[in-house]
């Protein structure tokens, strides 16, 4: 009995510590909350992958021309938010492949597209965003925005509870296998793709 009580106390302490550390559990899933640590983690992976940060529109256009950035899919399975400017509807090929796989599975389940609210942002665009939105990631340093590389997309959370639950479980799987880093934000899922789809 004494061993059982000690074991129970240990479980409660660990669970409490994990809950305080994560501070965000939903349906038993733990997602990264937007924080300094999550930005540092994304930037460490960006450095490991030796990804380029796009400086301005001219550099962005050159990367599109060279095929280093590709257009977001836009059709039955993926919808691009009308507010997203035409010159910012590009991502890295691995990010596009990830989105195609995720959106195809979502469409098979719900017969609806996933909506992309944000994709590539040049450092120039991020600098302007930062001026009007204090919570936006900085342009430089260890907490810089991962959008500057084309590795990241934001998916709209404008969906039903059932659709959100399905997407959370799917994203948790991709995070668990090291395919992507996920931040669950108020209005979107911020997805930084860090590995090619196999």
For 45-94, how does the pLDDT look when each residue is reduced to its tens digit (9 = 90+)? 988 999 999 989 999 999 999 999 999 999 999 999 999 999 999 999 99
pLDDT band for 146, please (50, 70, 90 cuts).
confident
Rounded CA-CA distance 126/2 in Å is: 58
pLDDT band for 6, please (50, 70, 90 cuts).
very low
Does domain 31-193 fall into CATH 3.20.20.60? no
Percent of all residues in the chain with a pLDDT value above 70, rounded to a whole number: 76
pLDDT at 197 > cutoff 60: yes
pTM exceeds 0.85, yes or no: no
Percent of all residues in the chain with a pLDDT value above 90, rounded to a whole number: 55
Distances from the Cα of 127 to the Cα of 58, 121, 141, angstroms: 16, 10, 13
Quick one: pLDDT at residue 94? 97
pLDDT band for 29, please (50, 70, 90 cuts).
low
Please give the average per-residue pLDDT across 168-178, as a whole number.
92
Phi, psi of 72 (to 5 degrees): -65, 145
Rounded CA-CA distance 105/23 in Å is: 29
pLDDT at 20 > cutoff 70: no
Rounded CA-CA distance 23/34 in Å is: 11
Bridge partners, residue 29, by sequence: 26
The average confidence (pLDDT) of the chain is 82
């Amino acid at each position: 009995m004494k061993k059982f009580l000690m074991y129970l106390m240990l479980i409660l302490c660990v669970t409490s510590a994990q809950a305080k550390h994560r501070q965000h559990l939903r349906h038993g899933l733990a997602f990264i909350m937007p924080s300094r640590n999550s930005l540092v983690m994304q930037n460490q992976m960006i450095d490991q992958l030796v990804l380029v940060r796009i400086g301005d529109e001219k550099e962005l256009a050159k990367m599109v021309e060279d095929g280093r950035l590709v257009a977001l899919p836009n059709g039955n399975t993926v919808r691009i938010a009308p507010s997203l400017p035409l010159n910012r509807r590009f991502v890295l090929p691995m990010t596009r492949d990830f989105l195609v796989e995720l959106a195809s599975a979502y469409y098979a389940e719900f017969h609806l597209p996933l909506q992309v609210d944000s994709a590539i942002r040049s450092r120039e665009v991020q600098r302007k965003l930062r001026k009007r939105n204090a919570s936006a990631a900085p342009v430089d340093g260890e907490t810089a925005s991962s959008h500057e590389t084309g590795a990241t997309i934001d998916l709209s959370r404008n969906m039903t509870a059932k659709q959100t639950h399905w997407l959370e479980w799917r994203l948790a799987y991709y995070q668990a296998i090291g395919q992507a880093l996920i931040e669950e934000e108020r209005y979107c899922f911020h997805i930084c793709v860090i590995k090619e789809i196999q």
